[in-house]
A = this chain, B = another copy of it.
Amino acid sequence: MVAIGEAARLSGVSIETIRYYEHEGLVAKAGRTASGRRTFSKASIYELRFIKRCRDLGFSIHDAVALRSLANEPANACETVGQLDRNHLTDVRAKIAELRRLESALIELVANCAKEQHDCPMLDALMGQNS
């Protein structure tokens, strides 16, 4: 049993975020000492780490909770997990595509921008009537 600061160090989740997770019901409520300080078991630290890994993979909190409860289920978990993963992968790829679109637009716009230029081609494009 460790205090919240140690739990934060061990799990990689910040103190504030741990409290936020508890408040939102995302993880089980921590125990308390006589003076009201939270205490964390090994299990609860693993729980925090699990959530953190999901978040680091870009899963929403909602999905992270879903994954966490799948970890306790015996049957068919793997299939559901795979589905969540593939859905998320689709989202990630859509974001990549969108960002690449932005990237090439930005490259094109900045291409003719330079010092000592009277008219800025990028500003012209942003102000223009077309499209």
Contacts and interface: CB of A to CB of B under 8 A. Distances in A.
Interface stretch (A1-9, A32-40, A89-97): A89-97
A82 to B, nearest CB: 3
A114 to B, nearest CB: 7
A105 B71 contact: no
> Chain A's interface: helix, strand, loop or mixed, by majority?
helix
A6 B126 CA distance: 21
Contacts of A71: 123, 126-127
A53 interface: yes
B82 A113 contact: yes
A50 interface: yes
Interface string A44-79: 001000100110011000000001001100001111
B81 A127 contact: no
A70 B114 contact: no
Query: 8 closest Cβ contacts across the A-B interface?
Result: A82-B113, A78-B120, A85-B110, A78-B117, A89-B106, A96-B99, A58-B102, A79-B115
Interface of A: 46, 50, 53-54, 57-58, 67, 70-71, 76-79, 81-82, 85-86, 88-89, 92-93, 95-96, 99-100, 102-103, 105-107, 109-110, 113-123, 126-127
